[in-house]
Amino acid sequence: MARDMTNKKEQLPSEINFAEDANVGFEDLTQQDVAIPFFVLLQKMSPQLDSVEGAKAGQVFNTVTEEVCDELKVIPCAYKREFVEWTPRDAGGGLVAQHSIDSEAVQKATRSADGRLISAAGNWLVETAYHFVLAVTKNGLERGLLTMTSTQLKKNRRWNSLMSGIKLKDSKGNSYTPARYSHVYKLTSSQEKNDKGSWYGWNIELESQVLKQDVYSNAKEFAGSIQSGDVKTTAPVQEEETKHF
């Protein structure tokens, strides 16, 4: 069972002036993405279980370094949501296009008997949440991206609620919401199931405030580069759970 992400840990003292970036990072981003690693959860049918030494279902996989880990600590820097159009698996699969949530393709889509959103061309439209993060890895801080679809969209909403619900006080005692990149979160996985099968989903736990100025500045810079469109996107990763559920 996934952990309850609403239990917040006690705030640690900090000398960082979070107030000057109040509410930064909670705006919807434009149609840009970044050419950076994806962090994905390996599933029981993931090909990496055969190709990556020691890889196990439920671990976090870095699509660039091809390293795996049991847990990942991240600083979320920016967020966006869109619909990704995929060719159905029985027709060969593959990415077709990415659409904003208010696009014509989404507005003209219909629902299949099993609840899937279908484009006018007969492809799947998968609602996808993108979290741009700084990950703490053995190589230091690494920019990355993780996506949530299907059953994980509920986790996405809870994570956003957790982040936007954090309150700090400025020097005058006024309460404010710090930037998205003000805190560190620990990501692990647990097995989930429904009547269609089982898979691994995300567990997300608030870890601490960001305590080092250079780390905070790095996260702020990454957030700014995404907002300005300086970083270009790669195609999202179609995870096994998206294919089957």
| CB-CB contact of 109 with 61 (8 Å) | no
Question: How many percent of the chain have pLDDT more than 70?
Answer: 84
Name the nearest CA neighbour of 226 among 101, 76, 82: 76
Across the chain, mean pLDDT equals 86
Residue with the bigger pLDDT between 223 and 237: it is 223
| pLDDT score at 96 | 92
Number of domains present in the structure of the chain: 1
Determine, yes or no, domain membership for 166.
yes
Q: Which residues of 44-75 are buried (b: 16+ CB within 10 A; e: fewer)?
A: eebebbeebeebebbbbbbbeeebbbeebbbb
Name the nearest CA neighbour of 200 among 138, 142, 244, 235: 244
Question: How many percent of the chain have pLDDT more than 90?
Answer: 66
Determine, yes or no, domain membership for 201.
yes
| pLDDT score at 123 | 94
Residue with the bigger pLDDT between 138 and 103: it is 103
Secondary structure class of 146 (helix, strand, coil)? strand
Q: Give the contacts of 144 (CB within 8 A, at least 6 positions apart).
A: 36, 37, 38, 39, 62, 74, 132, 133, 134, 135
Determine, yes or no, domain membership for 120.
no
The domain of 41 spans 18-75+127-244
Residue with the bigger pLDDT between 221 and 12: it is 221
- Per residue in 160-175, pLDDT tens? 999 999 999 999 999 9
CA–CA separation, 149 vs 155, rounded Å? 9
- Per residue in 193-203, pLDDT tens? 988 889 999 99
Determine, yes or no, domain membership for 117.
no
Determine, yes or no, domain membership for 165.
yes
- Global model pTM greater than 0.85: no
Average pLDDT over residues 27-51: 77
Determine, yes or no, domain membership for 101.
no
Please give the structure tokens belonging to residue 200: 């691994």
